[in-house]
Amino acid sequence: MLLLEDEGKFLLGQFGIVTPKGAAVRDAAELDVTLAKLQFPIALKAQIPAGKRGKNGGIMFADTPSKARSIVASMIGSHVSGHPVASVRVERKAAIRRERYVALTVTMNEVWLMIGRDGGVDVEDHALSDPSSVARIPLRRTVADTRDAIEMAFESLGFPEPGRDAYFDVCGRLEALLRGTDAIMAEINPLAETSDGSLLALDARIDIDDAAISRQPAIRKLLDLRHGTREWIEPQKVSMLRRSDRNGAVGLVGLGGGMALTVSDWIASENQSLAGAIDMDSSLSSGIACETLASVLDDFGSVEGVRVVLVNMISSGNRIDRIAEELLPALRAKRASSSKPMVVHLQGNGGARATALLRDAGIDNCTSLKEAISATLSYLK
């Protein structure tokens, strides 16, 4: 499901990517509240699940409150690119020095990072007329582990060297969003260099895997707000165990299908494979994470070929220390009763406290995914 720009920008903010200050409004009263918090000039952007709004009258600008009111009144209830407009995003107009393009997509079970020398409404035309203007980089592991290739792309595309660290940081945060929300596409177009040298995500195009919405409470909440009083069915309280290879030697417990894919590819590059993987998103949102984890660890323990279990959870939205608290009884019990080694990597907001909780229970918390993979593979030698 393609999110509206305002919803996508909310997610960008949750993962630390800066967007223009603003809000979506549905009527004149909401507009007046928002205008009181903004400085002019402002941009007014029709909220529809489609691109190229700027070429179809869906993006306009105003220098005064009266002009803004007139634009919103004309947009609400109209159609842009064939879509009805129920809300308008109102935000501070940015002083742009240069527009760039950054996106992550999942294609044929592979994650690709795309970086464009130019951004804006004509980015597709630029890519067709000059293919070298867009770098396409496969993420076999993570953005952090692909830094050399990304740096080469920045160089070939003419990105200014003093700002490359900031661009790299945005790429990493966008990857965390993609994996953390089960998105199949996360695009910032344009990603603007502003007059003061900072980066600002001027538009967001986030497409969530329809099959994953039931296990993404934050996404369900956004859609609930979009549709007013719409009621959402809570996910079933079931384990999400997926067998990968009965002959695999590694049992994986994690968050998000994208991260499972990353770990699977990484382990495969070392000539090993997963016996199975569990995505804990649904169990966490349903309040049965501890019971589910205990059941899955028992399951992995009963498979003769599984030689090590990797518990890998990276979370920016949910506090990882609270997740650690919830899972700790199952982790502690399995550590005491199982003869199979278990590697743990819990990272994110509240990570220091999560590490302390695990340490007090006699469980080491790896400091990075690379360390966790290395520790896992060491048991297979």
Q: pLDDT digits over 50-71, tens only?
A: 877 888 899 999 999 999 999 9
96-210 maps to which CATH number?
A: 3.30.470.20
What pLDDT score was predicted for residue 258?
62
Average pLDDT (76-94) is 93
User: Of the spans 183-192, 249-258, 269-278, which averages the highest pLDDT?
Assistant: 183-192
Selected residue with higher pLDDT from 293 and 33: 33
Q: Which of 180 and 342 is assigned the larger pLDDT?
A: 342
The pTM assigned to this predicted structure is: 0.62
Q: Report the percentage of the chain scoring pLDDT > 90.
A: 51
User: pLDDT tens-digit profile of 311-337?
Assistant: 999 875 568 888 899 899 999 988 888
- In this predicted structure, the answer to whether residue 245 has a pLDDT above a threshold of 50 is no
Q: Does domain 241-378 have CATH number 3.10.200.10?
A: no
pLDDT in tens, 143-187: 988 999 999 999 999 998 888 999 999 999 999 899 888 899 999
| Predicted pLDDT at 232 | 37
Q: How confident is the model at residue 286 (pLDDT cuts 50, 70, 90)?
A: low
Give yes or no for residue 285 having a pLDDT over 90. Answer: no
pLDDT at position 378: 95
pLDDT computed for residue 219 by the predictor: 84
CATH code assigned to 21-93: 3.30.1490.20
The reported pLDDT for the residue numbered 256 is 65
Q: 244 falls in which pLDDT band (50, 70, 90)?
A: very low
Domain boundaries, the chain: 21-93, 96-210, 241-378
- pLDDT, one tens digit per residue, over 364-380 is 999 999 999 999 999 99
- The pLDDT score that the predictor gives to residue 246 is 52
SS (H, E, C) the chain: CECCHHHHHHHHHHCCCCCCCEEEECCHHHHHHHHCCCCCCEEEEECCCCCCHHHCCCEEEECCHHHHHHHHHHHCCCEECCEECCCEEEEECCCEEEEEEEEEEEECCEEEEEEECCCCCCHHHHHHHCHHHEEEEECCCCCHHHHHHHHHHHHHHCCCHHHHHHHHHHHHHHHHHHHHHCEEEEEEEEEEEECCCCEEECCEEEEECHHHHHHCHHHHHHHHHHCCCCCCCCCCCCCCEEECCCCCCEEEEECCHHHHHHHHHHHHCCCCCEEEEEECHHHHHHCCHHHHHHHHHHHHHHCCCCCEEEEEEEECCCCHHHHHHHHHHHHHHHHHHCCCCEEEEEEECCHHHHHHHHHHCCCCECCCHHHHHHHHHHCCC
